[in-house]
Amino acid sequence: MARLNQIIAIEKGIKSKSFQELAEVQKTLQKPALLAGIARNYRPKDEEGEQLPPESNKVQVKAEDIIRQTVEILTKLFDVTASKDWTNCRARADVVVDGQTLLTQVPVSYLLFLEKQLVDLQAFIKKLPVLETSETWTFDPSADCWATEPIQTLKTKKIPRNHVKAEATDKHPAQVDVYYEDVTVGYWRTVKFSGALPATRINELLDRIERLSQAVKFAREEANNSEVEQQQIGERFFQYIFGNT
């Protein structure tokens, strides 16, 4: 008894071969000369006239033969595809992750869908923003996001100062230079917030997806090991179309 994975393995080859053979067969229909024949016999006007040999050209291709070949090719394709699709309807398996049955009796077609979705999810998670590693982050429930420890910095202001180079006399005014001094006027308390995720969280999600992907693939392989429900549909199908009425 054939298994579903065996049918899947040969289906692609049968399809490719069928399309190639059909193309070759149908090429002959594009050459009208192959479907045409002729037979000519010459009779002179009188007995003294020139005698010419008969001419003939046989029909090399018959439309009914082309139909017959086409039906043979397509019957194989129809039967193998039907066998695969009929078996797919009952090919099921459980998805088991870390010893836990996550999904029960999942159809093989849905398992294929899950495989693709998990690939897309993996790509999505890899694009998620990650917290800067140069900072120390803790989750702040009040802000509902990640936050750094408060950092205090100074707020300064330039204050003009006078430097007396020479005191005033009764003959000259005082010589004074003006310079600016940075004076602390306050303090900044800074907390950074971020909606990104820790690298450990990203890695955890990717690891879960990887384990789940493997479980789905194992389930698909198990489902594909189902015995094939052999179908012979092509003969009846084409008998209806091309059979004698």
Map 220-233 to HEC letters.
Answer: HHHHCCCECCCCCC
Helix, strand, coil tally for the chain in percent (to 5): 45, 25, 30
**Could you tell me which residues come within 8 angstroms of residue 121 by beta carbon, excluding any fewer than 6 positions away?**
209
Q: Are residues 35 and 66 in the same domain?
A: yes
Q: Are residues 215 and 129 in the same domain?
A: yes
Q: Are residues 219 and 98 in the same domain?
A: yes
Q: Are residues 85 and 32 in the same domain?
A: yes
Q: Are residues 181 and 204 in the same domain?
A: no
Q: Are residues 59 and 81 in the same domain?
A: yes
Report the pLDDT value the prediction gives residue 204, as an integer from 0 to 100. Answer: 96
Q: Are residues 15 and 108 in the same domain?
A: no
**Closest by CA position to 91, among listed 222, 232, 233, 230:** 222
Per the listing, tokens 């420890």 go with: 149
Q: Is the pLDDT of residue 164 over 90?
A: no
Q: Are residues 10 and 65 in the same domain?
A: yes
Q: Is the pLDDT of residue 71 over 60?
A: yes
Q: Are residues 38 and 58 in the same domain?
A: yes
Residue 183 lies in a domain: yes
Q: Are residues 205 and 216 in the same domain?
A: yes
Residue 20 lies in a domain: yes
Q: What is the mean pLDDT of residues 39-56?
A: 84
Mean pLDDT, the chain, integer = 88
Task: Give the confidence band of 1 by pLDDT, cuts at 50, 70, 90.
Answer: low
Residue 142 lies in a domain: no
DSSP strand pairing (145-148 vs 193-194): antiparallel
Q: How many domains does the chain have?
A: 3
Q: Are residues 169 and 209 in the same domain?
A: no
CB-count burial class (<10 Å; 0-12, 13-18, 19+) for 103? middle
How far is the CA of 87 from the CAs of 58, 77, 91, in angstroms? 48, 16, 6
Residue 65 lies in a domain: yes
Q: What does the chain come to in residues?
A: 245
State the Cα–Cα distance between residues 242 and 232, nearest whole angstrom: 17
- Buried b / exposed e across 176-200, counting CB within 10 Å, b at 16+? eeeeeeeeeeeeeeeeeebeebeee
Reduce the DSSP state of residue 143 to 3 states and report it.
Answer: coil
Q: What is the mean pLDDT of residues 104-111?
A: 91
Residue 41 lies in a domain: yes
Report the pLDDT value the prediction gives residue 113, as an integer from 0 to 100. Answer: 93
Q: Are residues 203 and 214 in the same domain?
A: yes
Give 169's DSSP letter. -
Residue 1 lies in a domain: yes
Report the pLDDT value the prediction gives residue 244, as an integer from 0 to 100. Answer: 67
175 vs 118: which has the higher pLDDT: 118
* Domain region containing 120: 94-134+196-223
